[in-house]
Amino acid sequence: MTFHHKSVLVTGASGGIGAEICRQFTASGATVIAVDINEAALLSLKQALGAQLEIVVCNLRHEEKISDLASKLSGRCIDILVNNAGVGRFVDYNFTTEDFDWHFHINTRAPMLLVKHLIPNLKHSAAPA
């Protein structure tokens, strides 16, 4: 499958599954916007994948940062949104509400807010040519 002339935004892009998703999409011809909080790892990924990869540092825990991300991408088409970012550090049921909130903000709230703020970009993809 090819993704030439497609734009893909991948969260949690700096390592593991997210970095591999970026590799596969760029290898298939897509332009990828890699989003993560880890700037050093994003820069390394950019060096490996080149011009087809754009990097954006963003802390998905905060809606204002997601809104800032959407502002940076204003007017740009996003054909595919990959909500890959996720965290996990529970080892038992001895956790604090701060632990819970940290997980909830990244794993549940952020994907919903990304869709909310990127709707105009995603609609560009659905618009007739």
Whether residue 125 has pLDDT greater than 90: no
pLDDT at res. 129: 56
Band (pLDDT 50/70/90 cuts) for residue 95 is confident
* Start-end of H helices in 39-126: 39-49, 63-72, 97-104, 110-126
Taking the whole predicted model, whether its pTM rises above 0.85 is answered as yes
User: Stretch 3-23: mean pLDDT, rounded?
Assistant: 97
Domains of the chain by range and CATH? 7-126 (3.40.50.720)
Arithmetic mean of pLDDT, 47-76: 97
